[in-house]
Structure 1
Amino acid sequence: MAAATPAAVLLLTLLFAIVLGTLTGGAMFEDTGGPRLERSAIYVLQLGIGLGSMALAVMLAARYVFGRPIMTWMTAAPHFRWRLLLAGAALTVIGVGVLMFADWLMNPGEFQMPIFDPNSSLALKAFYALAVVAGLFVAATAEEAVFRGYLLQQTAAFTRNVWVLIAINAAAFALAHLEFDPGALAARALAGAAFAWAALRLGGLEFAIGAHVATNLMIAFFHAPMLPDDPEVSGGLDDTIIEAALAIYMVLVVELTRRSPRLMAPFASTSSPT
C-alpha cells in the first residue's frame, strides 16, 4: 500500500488535473469572477471531483493489494444501505438545525443564508443547490471511504481498543484538513470521532456519509458559501461547545438507529468493518 497508494493517487490526480485544467483554461480552484453563488458552486464541484479522484485511487490501490472488493471497505452488510444513509442525513439535519438556530440567535450576523440570497436569481440558487449537493456528496463519501473505511480498518490491525481507534481516526481526520487553529482542530476531531463511532457501531459508512453530507449542506445552505479564497477556519469556545453537543447528539442517534430493525435489517453479518 505504501507504494501503490501514492502511485494511484498521482496517476488519477494527474488525470483529474489535465481534464479539469482543460475545461477551466487552467483556472482550477481559482476565483474567476462572477456571482458569488456561481463561483462557490463551481468550486465545490471541483473540490468534489478532486477529493473523489484521490479517494478512488486509495480504494483501487486497496483493491489491488488486498484483493478485496471496494464495497468491503464501505460496509460489512451484503449491500450498501441507502436507507441508513438517508436516516443519517435526516437525523443530522434535525440536530444541526437546532444547534444552528441557537447559534443564529446568539450571532445573527455570521449567517449569510446563501440559499435565500436576495441578490441571486432563482435559477442561480437552483444551480447552486444542485452543485453543492453533488459536490459535497462526492467529497463526503471520499473522506469517509478513506478515513472511516480504509484507515479505520487498517488501524484495527494494530489495536482492538475502540477508544484508541476513534482517537487515531479523529486526529488523522482533523490534521488532514491542514487548518491548525485549535478551534478548527477540535471541531474536526469531534466530527471525526462521531463519524468513526457511527461506522463502528453500525458496521458501515452509510450513516456517517449521510451525516457528513448533511452537516456540510446545512453550512453551505444557511451559513456561508464555500469559496477558494475563504480564510482559514477558526473557532472559539462557543463553536467548540456546539461541536461537542453535535458529537454527543450523533452518538445518541447512532445508538437509537442501531436498535431499529427496519434500518439494520439488511445487515446480515455479525462483524463490523474493523
Structure 2
Amino acid sequence: MKNDFLENASLGKNEWWRYILTILVMIIFAGLFTVIFGKLVMPIVKSNIEKTPFSETLVTLMSLGGTFAALLLGLWLMVNRLHKRPFTTLIHDKSEFSWKLWCLGFFAWSPIIIVLSFLFQYNDFERFLSLNISISQMLILLLVGLITIGIQSTAEEIIFRGYALQGISLKMKSIWLLVIINSLIFALLHLGWGFQSLIESFVFGIVFTYIVLDTKRIEFVAGAHTVNNLLFFLFFQPENEKLTHFQWTIDWFELGTFLTFIVVFYFLMRTFFKKKNKNYS
C-alpha cells in the first residue's frame, strides 16, 4: 500500500552506502560531544557544584540532551548533503513541524503512562521522594527535562520512525513486515532494561509506527514518547540493581495491562484521526 510519508524516501539519493555513512557520521558527532562534555564540562561541574541528587540529575539531563542533539545534527547534515533531500521529509509529508500535534501526543499519552507508572512502579516513585528534592529544584528539572528529554525522544522518533523506517521501506514493500522489523530494531536497542522491557519496547514501536503511518507525521509520537521518557527519568527510575543486571523475569499481569492500555490507545487515536481528518500544520 502506498504511503505518502514512506514515499518521501524516493525524493533523495538512497544507495545503501549512504545509510551506512550517515550512521557512522551520527555516531562520530555523538562521540565528539561525549568527549567534549566529559573533558571540558564535567571537570568544571565537579569542582564548582556539590554532588547531590539534584545536580547529578541535572547534569545527566544536559548530557543526554546534548548527545541526541549531536546525533540529530549529524543526521541533518547527511540527509541534506549526502541524501540530497530536505530534512523535513523525515518528519512529515508536506508542511512545517506541528507543535500542536506534538502537544496532543504529549497530553494524550500522559494519563496512560501516569496510571501505569503508579500501578507498577510506585516503589520507584517512593525512592524519588526520599531524595528530598525541593519544589524549586523539581521545577528546574521539569523545565530542563522537557527540553532535553524532548530533544532525545523527538530525535529517536526521527531516527527510527523517520529515517530508518523510510529507508527500509525502499527495499520492503510489505507494511506489516516493515513495521515488525523497524520495531524490532528499536526494541533491541532497549534490551539493557530487561526482557519484559524488550517486549514492551517492541509493542511500543509497533503501535507508534502505525500511528506515524496513519498520520504521515512524526510529531504526535514524538510528544507521546517525550512524556513517557520524562516521567520515567525523573520520577520512576528503577533501582540500580535492575539497571546493572539484566532482568529475565516477566510480570505477566503488568505486561498484560500495558499491552491492553497501549492497544486501546492506538485504536482510540486511530479513530480520532480518522474522524477529524485534519492536516495539523
TM-score tier (shorter): 0.7 to 0.9
Question: Is this contact kept in 2: 1:191–1:243, CA < 8 A?
Answer: no
**Structure 1 residues 187 and 33: CA distance shift in structure 2, 3 A:** farther
SS at match of 1:25: helix
CA distance in 2: counterparts of 1:223 and 1:11, whole angstroms: 31
- Give the superposition deviation at 1:27: 8.6
**Structure 1 residues 258 and 36: CA distance shift in structure 2, 3 A:** same
Instruction: Please say if 1:150 is aligned against 2:163.
Output: yes
Single out whichever of 59-68 and 6-15 deviates more from structure 2: 6-15
Matching of residues 120-131 of structure 1 within 5 Å = 120-131=133-144
TM-score (norm 2): 0.80
TM-score (norm 1): 0.82
Structure with the largest fraction of helix = 2
CA distance in 1: counterparts of 2:239 and 2:120, whole angstroms: 19
- Give the superposition deviation at 1:124: 1.8
Matching of residues 166-205 of structure 1 within 5 Å = 166-179=179-192, 181-205=194-218
**Which of 22, 31, 37 is equivalent to 1:20?**
37
1:241 corresponds in structure 2 to: 256
Question: Is this contact kept in 2: 1:82–1:206, CA < 8 A?
Answer: yes
Letter in 1 for 2:61: V
**Structure 1 residues 58 and 238: CA distance shift in structure 2, 3 A:** farther
**Matched pairs, number:** 258
Question: Is this contact kept in 2: 1:81–1:266, CA < 8 A?
Answer: yes
Question: Is this contact kept in 2: 1:151–1:169, CA < 8 A?
Answer: yes
Unaligned runs of 5+ in 2: 1-17
Unaligned runs of 5+ in 1: 268-274
Letter in 1 for 2:91: M
**Structure 1 residues 118 and 16: CA distance shift in structure 2, 3 A:** closer
Letter in 2 for 1:239: E
Matching of residues 32-181 of structure 1 within 5 Å = 34-103=51-120, 108-112=122-126, 114=128, 119-179=132-192, 181=194
**1:188-222 CA distance string (max 9 Å, x none):** 11111121111111001011101100111222344
RMSD of aligned alpha carbons: 2.9
